[in-house]
C-alpha cells in the first residue's frame, strides 16, 4: 500500500463563501459544484467524498441570460393524478430563491450516495446574512 491514499477520517473540510449577486446561474452552479465535490484538492478521487462546505449568499440577486427570466419554468409532480405543478422563474425567485440554486447544483452532482452527501454541505441564503459566522477560516470566492 502506498501512502498517497486518501482517508475519509483525516480529511479537513474548509468553508467557502460565494456571493451570488449579479452572477449567471449556470456558471455559479459549476463553481459551487467544483468546491463541493473537492476537485480543487490534489487528492481528488471520484469515489471518495473529500469536498468542502459552500455558503451561498444573495441568492435572490442571481442573473440568468436571454429571455429565461420570463420563459424558464420549473416542473414537479407529486405522483398522484393531476399532481403536475409548473412555476415560472420570476415567481420562484420571489417566493424561494434558494430553490433555484439548489436545483441547478443538484442537477450537476452525481446521482448516487456521494451526490446526496455532498448536497448536504451546501448552505444557501437569500440575502447577505448567514448563520455561519462562527466557522473558522471562511474563504471568500
pLDDT at 91 > cutoff 80: yes
Asked if the model's pLDDT at residue 6 lies above 60, the reply is no
Q: What would the pLDDT profile of 14-52 be if each residue is shown by its tens digit?
A: 999 999 999 999 999 999 999 999 999 998 998 899 999
CA distance 60 to 62: 6
Domains for the chain: give ranges and CATH numbers.
Answer: 15-65+97-140 (3.90.1180.10)
Tens-digit pLDDT profile for residues 34-43: 999 999 999 8
Helices (H) and strands (E) in the chain, counts: 5, 6
Angle at 68 between CA 63 and CA 73, to 5 degrees: 110
- Residue keyed to cell 420562484: 92
Whole-model pTM?
0.86
CA-to-CA distance for 27 and 116, rounded, in angstroms? 21
- Contact (Cβ atoms closer than 8 angstroms) between residue 6 and residue 47: no
Amino acid at each position: 500500500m502506498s501512502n498517497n491514499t486518501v482517508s475519509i477520517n483525516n480529511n479537513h473540510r474548509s468553508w467557502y463563501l460565494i456571493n451570488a449577486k449579479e452572477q449567471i446561474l449556470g456558471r455559479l452552479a459549476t463553481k459551487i459544484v467544483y468546491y463541493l465535490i473537492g476537485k480543487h484538492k490534489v487528492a481528488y478521487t471520484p469515489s471518495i467524498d473529500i469536498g468542502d462546505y459552500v455558503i451561498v449568499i444573495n441568492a435572490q440577486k442571481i442573473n440568468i441570460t436571454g429571455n429565461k427570466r420570463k420563459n424558464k419554468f420549473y416542473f414537479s409532480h407529486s405522483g398522484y393524478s393531476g399532481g403536475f405543478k409548473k412555476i415560472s422563474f420570476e415567481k420562484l425567485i420571489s417566493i424561494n430563491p434558494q430553490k433555484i440554486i439548489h436545483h441547478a447544483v443538484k442537477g450537476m452532482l452525481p446521482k448516487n450516495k456521494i451526490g446526496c452527501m455532498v448536497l448536504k454541505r451546501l448552505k444557501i441564503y437569500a440575502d447577505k446574512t448567514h448563520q455561519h459566522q462562527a466557522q473558522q477560516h471562511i474563504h471568500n470566492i
